[in-house]
Structure 1
Amino acid sequence: MWSAEVLEVNPACDVTVHRLRPANQKVLLADRFYRYPEKIAELALGLYYTESRAVVGSYPGSRAMITLDTTPLIQTLSKLWGEPLRPFHAEYHPVIFSAIQNRDYTLTPWQRQPHIDQGVTAMVYLNPEEMCSGGTGLYRHRPTGLSRVPIGLTPELIRLGQQHGLSAQALRTQDGYAEFMNTVFFRPEYAVKENHYINDGNDYWELLYKIEMKPNRLVIFDGRTFHSQHIAPNQFRDYFRMNQILYFQGHD
């Protein structure tokens, strides 16, 4: 029976902060993050994983969840980030693990280019050192010059929508906003043509910063920044790329 003690943070973890140009977005790294990383890995490996779209959405792998008290963990993450981090559902956030194996898979056009999350994203890489490679890429959308999509409707987003035949009124509807995102940023032709991740970018996506995957490394960044797994075709073929993922509310 697992308890929240498995999520105990190492008080001596090594924290560094990077700034992503040109928009100056913050990227926080904390190495040696968990006090007991081997226990976290044991927990993650012992759970049931599903590829159900209802659980993973467009994530190109599988996920597992377990209910543990994440309140102390979130308090620590908030302190490191420099502002309160709030889960999307009340004050509770489950423990979520993600797994990708780079074999016998077919990526959709939306998985072969960057994406955004709804707010602040935090994750911890769980593989041991000998099984760490690649990482996470942060990108700029070349056609618009943007590296981040604001949460609210800005004059720039309205202008981009109008250029593609979408009115400001349409952008304020759920369907209209989804059409805007897929028309302006995530067009199928913007994806990598081959069946692999965007990695070092292409004519439509510029790699701004690659977060190197390291064991027991925490990463926190603005999930509205375009990002993607950075995984070469020859990586993670014989074992899974494992990480813990947390999503928090964001703001502009």
Structure 2
Amino acid sequence: MLPSVLIVDNFLADPMAARQAALALDYDPGFKKGNYPGLLSTRPLAIGGLDDAVAGLIGRPVRPQPGTSHGHCRLTLAREKGRSGVHIDPCFYSGILFLTLPEHCRGGTDFYRHRRTGLDRVPEDRLDMVRAGYDDPNRLVEEVVNQDTLKPSRWERSFTAPMRFNRLLLFSPWMFHNSGAGFGDRPDNGRLVHLMFFAAA
């Protein structure tokens, strides 16, 4: 069974080089296509051996998920808001590499429980789904995730995976989650992350 959450510190041998490369990418507001806060890099940041490293950590071969922003970086400054909140990811497994310097790190990635259903993820087991009042995962996603994404009173934060420079956070994409708030007033002190969305290889 895949781990629900896995945290690996000191993931890259040279994280400062990755950070500098991430900051050198273009974050064009015109490229923004999603509901996320902040700006996405217009091209991905390649990290050599990433697929194999993640496969070794979770015990399953992976590859980039087509149609996602896998490998792109996201920069979010203070007061930048998205058009969605709590969500799930369209992939087999998710990852975030934190590239914010230690002196600026705050928050992280938040995970939630839905108050009405008691669920903290889309159930993989059909019996768990039926217990929550659903017989179709698509209906559950629509009525729980999509309808309540921006309604904070519908959610209880379960825990936060804290941001730390060069920390890799891997987790099940079916868990209800959201990025922590943006911060800083310029790229070199803002929330800088490298995004990963994996498909099963």
- Computed over aligned residues only, the root mean square deviation of the Cα atoms, in angstroms, reads 3.1
Cα pair distance change 1:65/1:33, threshold 3 Å = farther
Stretches of structure 2 lacking an aligned partner (at least 5 in a row): none
C-alpha distance after superposition, 1:180-200 (max 9, x if no partner):
5232333258613xxxxxxxx
| 1:229 counterpart residue number | 179
Distance in 2, Cα, partners of 1:143 & 1:34: 40
Higher Cα Rg: structure 1 or 2? Answer: 1
Aligned equivalent of 2:38, options 39, 51, 61? 61
1:38 is paired with a residue whose SS is helix
Q: Cα deviations across residues 69-106 of structure 1 (Å, max 9, x unaligned)?
A: 6562110111012222232239xx96311111123x45
Match of 1:118 among 75, 90, 113: 90
Shift of 1:151: 6.5
- Normalising by structure 1, we get a TM-score of 0.66
Alignment correspondent of 2:74: 98
Contact 2:112 2:156 (8 Å CA) reproduced: yes
5 Å-filtered alignment, 1:172-191, equals 177=138, 180-188=140-148, 191=151
Q: Please point out which of 42, 45, 53 is paired with 1:76.
A: 53
User: Kindly tell me: are residues 61 and 69 of structure 1, through their superposed partners in 2, closer, same or farther at Cα, counting changes over 3 Å?
Assistant: closer
- 1:241 alignment counterpart: 191
1:100-145 deviation digits (Å, cap 9, x = unpaired): 1123x4543x33xx11002311111001100101111111111111
User: Compared with structure 1, are the counterparts of its residues 71 and 128 closer, same or farther at alpha carbon in structure 2 (3 Å cutoff)?
Assistant: closer
Query: 1:187-198, aligned counterparts within 5 Å?
Result: 187-188=147-148, 191-192=151-152
1:107–1:95 Cα change, 3 Å:
closer
Structure 1 CA distance for aligned equivalents of residues 132 and 157 of structure 2: 25
Runs of 4+ in structure 1 off by over 4 angstroms are 67-71
Task: Give yes or no for the alignment of 1:145 onto 2:118.
Answer: yes
Paired positions, count: 193
CA–CA separation in structure 1 for the residues paired with 2:192 and 2:74: 6
Q: 1:159 & 1:32 partners in 2: Cα distance?
A: 39
Q: CA–CA distance in 1 between the matches of 2:166 and 2:45?
A: 19
Aligned equivalents of 1:37 and 1:248: distance in 2? 21
SS in structure 2 at match of 1:115 = coil
Instruction: For residue 185 of structure 1, give the secondary structure of its aligned residue in structure 2.
Output: helix
Which letter does structure 1 place at the counterpart of 2:98?
Y
* CA distance in structure 2 between the partners assigned to 1:142 and 1:248 by the alignment: 29
Gaps of at least 5 residues in structure 1 are 1-23, 163-167, 172-176, 193-202
CA 68–106 in structure 1, closer or farther in 2 if over 3 Å, else same: closer
Question: Identity rate of aligned residues, in percent?
Answer: 28
Stretch moving more, 24-33 or 75-84? 24-33
Amino acid at match of 2:119: L
TM-score (norm 2): 0.80
